[in-house]
Structure 1
């Protein structure tokens, strides 16, 4: 068992114009045997995006990560109805999901974290547009004298009806380029209703934002292989790790995640290498040290850049450190140089809350259990 570390005062970490706040209570969730909460998951996923934005801009520019409350809000029943698009319709007011190649949805249900990774959404709209064009061409060229009889209830239509009505036949992807919802779960659990609300959400989102009608069968789905946790409490850690390694090399992951032609053991061995499974045992310690290092850098920077404001009556007045802008990774990289060269900051920069999306205050809690 590792000794418990203390964060002390909160870390306030800036990414763009957003400030992420990690408190001592959040930090303690990274102690051995503790459940990660929503704040730690949100913080680390956004940190990953910010880190990879510099090294892999072509990937991160085509990636969108929902916060940890999205799926719960999507599936929240309204007046006895099932999952409602209206619950989350405004969450993507500033983003076009169908221009994204990767969409990440961390999910917390029944004290357990897992993640849905939706791939190739940019291809989904293209497919729908091509189908619509083909359908219109067929209508224009239709010869009623040679109309072919189509028997409703044929094996083809029965298969579709079975799938839509919740049959067990899997709608698995055929290739790495198929629009697909992958679910990664470190307990290897099967979630009975995970794919339906996500498909329905994508169909409604395409109609609302693009005016395009999608077919549910065009959205493939699969429970993808992922390393399993050895205990009851590390699922949040594994979710953070899954997302980090996937986004670092998605082109290597996707062909293996959809592979059904080769021996399962061989595919899983290759995936274990991509997942960097040997790093999972030390992931909690790594995340704690990261937060401590970020805070130390922030404090050092603030001490060397203590802002001096001119007061007409009292002369020089020191601005409290708590009012000075917090740091992002770009500040860290040039810390030493700026400590010598930069003039004092004249005024603090306004900080904004973490998420663009509206969050139901009843859901916002740093006390979520999370296996």
Structure 2
């Protein structure tokens, strides 16, 4: 069965609302908290994407992004989506790239990925995070229908929970992703009972995706893929699960040509965020100037 992707009202993503560059001409602000120049988190998450001064050089052409820059992109796409889709906060949670190594979080990491009082992670329709299995290549992970695994919410109904790995270099897949994702889901359950037999049968799919033409832009692709996915998440979920295919070439479906603007868009956003943080610091005259 095939379907044509329906035209949605404008959503607040990179591709139909280009950010306005900082008014001062993209100046690089001084460090505010040590070497930190900007910070962003997705609604309700405990682990921010904290951009350091040294990360700014990674925004230049042909440079690999850091995990926080990759996460910043995904957080911004997700936050913008929720602004343009009121009432859908229960559908989506976006987590930091380091979630892929959640099982080894110890000192220096928050105990939980969600702040106190926020909707529990597994109660969302989509759990999204960039991953980096080898510290050399980023991909996007989307776990759909994770709430089906919660015993208290779904004691006997069907389990549709599926993990989707959207990868811009198919030759660099994550190692043993099912084992990794099972451990992540157990950790994200925060002690709530899961349907263990169904968890052990978790499906992990690697759909065909646009492939990057170089070795250094992989950190841009998770945010790019997420922005396209959120333009019509139900349609893309059905497409990725093979239930209703969106017609067209894979590069056209995923708007691959737009990736060329992603690095500059991300740079504009980071610098704008950095200037806002610097302005807030400057406004607070009770705080002494940092020693640089």
For normalisation by structure 1, the TM-score amounts to 0.56
Question: Contact conserved, 1:73 with 1:88, CA < 8 A, in 2?
Answer: no
The 3 A distance-change label for structure 1 pair 274 and 251 is: farther
Whole-angstrom distance in 2 between the partners of 1:283 and 1:299 = 24
Question: Contact conserved, 1:206 with 1:213, CA < 8 A, in 2?
Answer: no
Aligned to 2:69: 40
Aligned equivalent of 1:99, options 110, 118, 123: 123
Aligned equivalent of 1:180, options 152, 159, 162: 162
The 3 A distance-change label for structure 1 pair 107 and 205 is: closer
* Pairing 1:114–2:97 present: no
Aligned to 1:285: 264
Question: Contact conserved, 2:182 with 2:200, CA < 8 A, in 1?
Answer: no
Aligned to 1:225: 208
* Pairing 1:69–2:69 present: no
The residue matched to 1:279 in structure 2 has which SS? helix
Q: After superposition, what is the alpha-carbon deviation per residue over 1:36-66, rounded to whole angstroms, capped at 9, x for unaligned?
A: 0022123222222322221123334322222
Whole-angstrom distance in 2 between the partners of 1:202 and 1:31 = 35
The 3 A distance-change label for structure 1 pair 254 and 290 is: same
Whole-angstrom distance in 2 between the partners of 1:301 and 1:273 = 42
Aligned to 1:22: 51
Give 1 or 2: higher helix fraction: 1
Structure with the greater alpha carbon radius of gyration: 1
Aligned CA RMSD, in angstroms, stands at 3.8
1:1-371 alignment, distance < 5 Å: 7-10=28-31, 11-13=37-39, 21-74=50-103, 90-91=112-113, 94=116, 96-110=120-134, 111-125=136-150, 128-130=154-156, 178-188=160-170, 189-202=172-185, 206=189, 208-210=191-193, 212-216=195-199, 219-259=202-242, 267=247, 269=249, 272-296=251-275, 306=283, 318-319=285-286
Alignment coverage as a number of residue pairs: 250
Q: Which sections of structure 2, spanning at least 5 residues, go unmatched?
A: 1-25, 32-36
For normalisation by structure 2, the TM-score amounts to 0.69
Whole-angstrom distance in 1 between the partners of 2:148 and 2:216 = 37
Whole-angstrom distance in 2 between the partners of 1:321 and 1:63 = 39
